[in-house]
Amino acid sequence: MKSTICLFAAAFLSSGAAWAGEIDGSFTREFRGVNRLELDSLFVATTVKGAPGSSLKLEAFDIPKGARVEANQEGGTLRVTVEKSWLVWLPMNRARLVLTIPETASCELASASGSIAASGIDGALVKIRTASGSIDCVDIGSVLEINSASGSVSVKDTRAGTVIKTASGSISLEKAPVDAVLFSRSGSIEILEVDGAIKIDNTSGRVLVKDFSGRLYIRTVSGSIGLEEAELTGESLFQSTSGSIKLDLDNRREDFRIKATTVSGSVSLFGDKMKGGFEGGSGAYPLTLGTVSGSIRVQ
């Protein structure tokens, strides 16, 4: 069964329900038995947070006249969309959605310019996509996939595999015992207090890694690569065309089998300076370092 009710109608449908509101204002609706959320919030800032239970609460605040919030539940899937007339100018700075969902639910969240914040979710998968809106994730136990054109991305306390792609937005990954893959064309990337295996492909943004333990695979074109208070526990690679590579490691030189190459940059390995490059060592961990014109320093 599908039916539509006005924003301020008294009727409440918990299953197979669709409703739409075309009047500006604030409202709350609840849906039961939801295990998957699909959201397209358009320009509206959105917060999605997990909580115990099987019901989903949708709260809307300051939705402007000329916009419509629509929700449709089919079985365990709830689809929420925001629509507006292209003829209507909408004040976007106050409108927001807050969705409290079952913590075990999966999510697919999308936005054009509205920000998205997600927290406390342990479902199988969380996918988030924005054009220019920022993305902020905290305490996510689900596999996490993020794609942003120009919005910044911040991920903290995630506990499962993570993939983040941005065109020009910055990326921050913090306090995450996970394996992650990060792609960026021009945004900076910062990794803080992470244990795991991290792969980073970046074009022109700086890459900075602090308080890290695990394996790293980092490639940049013109962005610099920096490590501070890091311990490498497996095979690692650092490559940059014109950016410098500076690694401050907790490891000893004896831990590595090192191959360092550069065309015109300088090389310094654990206090020893050399020209052109170096290959040697008998340690357990292969360490590959390469630049064209950027300097290489490992200490």
> What is the residue extent of each domain of the chain?
1-114, 207-299
- Sequence-separated (6 or more) residues with CB below 8 Å from residue 45: 95, 96, 97, 114, 115, 116, 133
Q: In this structure, are residues 8 and 23 in contact, taking their beta carbons and an 8 Å threshold?
A: yes
Alpha carbon distance 191, 210 (integer Å): 6
Predicted pLDDT at 92: 57
Alpha carbon distance 169, 166 (integer Å): 6
Alpha carbon distance 169, 115 (integer Å): 13
Alpha carbon distance 246, 263 (integer Å): 17
Integer angstrom CA distances of residue 282 from 27, 250, 253, 275, 285: 66, 18, 10, 21, 9
| Residue pointed to by tokens 């959201």 | 39
Predicted pLDDT at 225: 97
pTM over 0.75: yes
pLDDT in tens, the chain (299 residues): 343 333 332 233 334 444 444 445 789 999 999 999 999 998 899 999 999 999 999 999 988 877 889 999 999 999 999 988 765 555 556 899 999 999 999 999 999 999 999 999 999 999 999 999 999 999 999 999 999 999 899 999 999 999 999 999 899 999 988 899 999 999 899 999 999 999 999 999 899 999 999 999 999 999 899 999 999 999 999 999 999 999 999 999 999 999 999 999 899 999 999 888 899 999 999 999 999 999 999 99
Predicted pLDDT at 276: 80
Residue 168 CA to chain centroid, in angstroms?
A: 13
- Sequence-separated (6 or more) residues with CB below 8 Å from residue 252: none
